[in-house]
């Protein structure tokens, strides 16, 4: 028997329709207050479903999804890893933190090549997001790299800092850049020259994903590599100037800038330099890595491509080997649910719009690109809008729903999974009316999908990867501040069975999490779950 074989579930009766997993991205369960966009939205179907029999709450943050502590919010990447992986894997933040603390990150060939460049007179450039959101990066990882530079005698370091405002407060940039500039100044002794060289808001500088808008990467390239951008004498002065000019300025959309002195931009990259991207999350690190690594990149005109040694803190795409060099070995994801289902001959269909397409494919499949078995799987990407999502909070939910309804009616797929990105992507904007519309759009899409599923005699499993829309703002001393980050709230797990061939009931697992979903899907499809998967949330009566 193959390692990937699935045993039939005893007593299971086959049924005609598919099992459809709906991931309501960013739709958590929060307190029933005005700040909760899910609670405040008009969602008659979701309200009814939550009163059903096969309903529970899942933990979607912290240690339940492989993050270092329960203080860490979940995110879509680790959420989909957990949903498709069936057990807890140590995730990027934890891996990187441990490797930096133990020194393992500096023991390999990559760091030695960096030191080779700096010993020959090259500058080390450190690019990454300056925050403690712990979703894409953590400022402590940057500080660990700087400390190692001091220990290893690196003389010249330039930090190219991306501004968060999404996984942390929407106007919190100075809380991170002011201590950073002070620290760099303190380290600039004994011949060392450490400075911030450039920066910009994460949504318009450097951190594009899924080839949605390469002009974002181009703006980062101009600022970080070419030293082209609005000039300021320091990062803090740049940030404060933008705030003064636009009191409504949100950090994540802040224009790029460069730091200059009397001789010009202080951080222009040159032949012989080394570059490390210290963001650990892969989706928004791949395109900038390609810009550094690919000699024949055609997505934008780089104008100049210096002879640099480039490395990521991690490898962001193991199949495509992006980047070629990295400091910390990536987590090993094997035997994903997708691999098991393909081995069992189950036909499947995965769909999302561009913003979350990689989540229902790459991240769901254990950080692996492409199909597992093209003869059994169909992956569909619906191109996302290019305007800010608060202006079109319905996003591409209708298009996705059209295709899912057709896939259900076509009866060619036994397992269908889809991501409705509205609750998360619109939740990140902090615009209350748009967040409510986004959640209502998800509810409408669900109603259409369930009508089709009832007609086909299938089963719906409805959940989320993390919270976001469930907290639109916080109130401190009577002053409201937009909450644009993910929450640490639980997410729903709803089973809606339209075939009646099998009678399931919920198990009594204490504090179930997202990793229990894969085994649950196995049971709904008529298989026992793999022995080392976190157990199913259902039992067949």
Digit-by-digit pLDDT tens for the chain (541 residues) are 357 999 999 999 999 999 999 999 999 999 999 999 999 999 999 999 999 999 999 999 999 998 877 888 888 988 999 999 999 988 778 889 999 999 999 999 999 999 999 999 999 999 999 999 998 999 999 999 999 999 999 999 999 999 999 999 999 999 999 999 999 999 999 999 999 999 999 999 999 987 889 999 999 999 999 999 999 999 999 999 999 999 999 999 999 999 999 999 999 999 999 999 999 988 899 999 999 999 999 999 999 999 999 999 998 876 578 999 999 976 668 899 999 999 999 999 999 999 999 999 999 999 888 999 999 999 999 999 989 899 999 999 999 999 999 999 999 999 999 999 999 999 999 999 999 999 999 999 999 999 999 999 999 999 999 999 999 998 888 888 888 889 999 999 999 999 889 999 999 999 999 999 999 999 999 999 999 999 999 999 8
Contact 359, 80 (CB under 8 A): yes
Kindly state whether residues 23 and 42 are assigned to the same domain.
yes
The CATH number for 153's domain is 3.40.1450.10
Sequence-ordered alpha helix ranges (H) in 86-198: 92-102, 109-119, 139-151, 173-187
Kindly state whether residues 367 and 243 are assigned to the same domain.
no
Q: Which of 328, 351, 385 is a domain's end point?
A: 328
Q: Is residue 75 part of a domain?
A: yes
Q: Which of 328, 353, 384 is a domain's end point?
A: 328
Q: Is residue 266 part of a domain?
A: yes
Kindly state whether residues 152 and 245 are assigned to the same domain.
yes
Kindly state whether residues 266 and 396 are assigned to the same domain.
no
Residue 514 to residues 305, 407, 468, 511, Cα–Cα distance (Å)? 43, 25, 16, 10
**How far apart are the C-alpha atoms of 158 and 154, rounded to whole Å?**
11
Q: Which of 328, 343, 359 is a domain's end point?
A: 328
Q: Is residue 512 part of a domain?
A: yes
For the chain, the domain total comes to 2
The CATH number for 490's domain is 3.40.720.10
Q: Is residue 35 part of a domain?
A: yes
Q: Is residue 6 part of a domain?
A: no
Output the CA angle 37-42-45, nearest 5 degrees: 115
Reference 83, options 409, 513, 382, 373; nearest CA is 513
End-to-end CA distance of the chain: 28
| Residue 312 structural domain | 108-328
Kindly state whether residues 470 and 488 are assigned to the same domain.
yes
Q: Which residues are catalytic?
A: 76
Q: Is residue 225 part of a domain?
A: yes
Reference 146, options 156, 131, 133; nearest CA is 156
Q: With H, G, I as helix, E, B as strand and everything else as coil, classify residue 152.
A: coil
Q: Is residue 227 part of a domain?
A: yes
Kindly state whether residues 44 and 187 are assigned to the same domain.
no
**How far apart are the C-alpha atoms of 345 and 476, rounded to whole Å?**
54
Kindly state whether residues 428 and 523 are assigned to the same domain.
yes
């Amino acid at each position: 028997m193959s390692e990937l074989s699935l045993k039939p579930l005893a007593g299971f009766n086959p049924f005609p329709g598919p099992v459809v997993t709906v991931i309501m991205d960013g739709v958590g369960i929060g307190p029933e207050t005005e700040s909760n966009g899910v609670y405040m939205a008009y969602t008659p179907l979701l309200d009814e479903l939550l009163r059903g029999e096969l309903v529970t709450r899942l933990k979607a943050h912290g240690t339940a999804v492989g993050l270092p502590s329960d203080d860490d919010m979940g995110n879509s990447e680790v959420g989909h890893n957990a949903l498709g992986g069936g057990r807890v894997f140590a995730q990027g933040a934890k891996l990187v933190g441990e490797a930096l603390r133990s020194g393992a990150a500096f023991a390999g060939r990559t760091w030695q090549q960096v030191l080779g460049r700096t010993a020959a007179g090259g500058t080390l450039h450190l690019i990454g997001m300056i925050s403690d959101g712990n979703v894409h990066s953590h400022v402590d990882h940057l500080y660990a790299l700087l400390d190692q530079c001091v220990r290893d005698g690196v003389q010249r370091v330039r930090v190219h800092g991306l501004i968060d405002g999404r996984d942390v407060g929407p106007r919190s940039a100075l809380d991170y850049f002011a201590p950073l500039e002070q620290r760099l100044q303190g380290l600039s002794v004994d011949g060392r020259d450490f400075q911030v060289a450039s920066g910009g808001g994460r949504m318009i500088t450097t951190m594009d994903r899924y080839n949605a808008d390469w002009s974002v990467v181009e703006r980062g390239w101009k600022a970080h590599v070419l030293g082209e951008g609005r000039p300021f004498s320091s990062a803090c002065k740049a940030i404060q100037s933008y705030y003064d000019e636009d009191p409504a300025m949100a950090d994540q959309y802040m224009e790029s800038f460069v730091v200059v002195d009397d001789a010009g931009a202080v951080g222009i990259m040159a032949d012989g330099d080394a570059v490390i991207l210290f963001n650990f999350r892969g989706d928004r690190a791949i395109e900038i890595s390609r810009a550094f690594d690919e000699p024949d990149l055609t997505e934008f005109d780089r104008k100049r491509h210096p002879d640099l040694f480039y490395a990521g803190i991690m490898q962001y795409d193991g199949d495509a080997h992006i980047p070629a060099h990295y400091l910390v070995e990536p987590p090993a994801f094997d035997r994903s649910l997708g691999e098991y289902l393909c081995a069992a001959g189950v036909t499947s269909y995965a769909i999302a719009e561009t913003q979350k397409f990689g989540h229902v494919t790459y991240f769901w499949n254990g950080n692996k690109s492409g199909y597992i078995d093209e003869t059994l799987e169909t992956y569909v990407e619906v191109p996302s809008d290019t305007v800010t999502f608060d202006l079109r909070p319905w996003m591409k939910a209708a298009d996705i729903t059209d295709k899912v309804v057709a896939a259900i009616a076509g009866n060619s797929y036994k397992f269908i999974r889809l991501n409705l990105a509205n609750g998360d992507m619109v939740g990140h904007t902090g615009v209350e009316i748009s967040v409510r519309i986004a959640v209502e759009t998800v509810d409408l899409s669900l109603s259409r999908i369930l009508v089709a599923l009832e007609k086909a005699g299938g089963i719906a499993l409805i959940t989320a990867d993390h919270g976001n829309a469930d907290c639109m703002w916080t109130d401190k001393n009577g002053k409201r501040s937009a909450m644009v980050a993910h929450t640490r709230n639980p997410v729903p797990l709803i089973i809606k069975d339209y075939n009646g061939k099998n009678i399931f009931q919920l198990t009594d697992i204490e504090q179930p999490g997202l990793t229990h979903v894969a085994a649950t899907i196995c049971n709904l499809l008529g298989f026992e779950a793999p022995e080392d998967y976190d157990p199913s949330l259902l039992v067949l009566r």
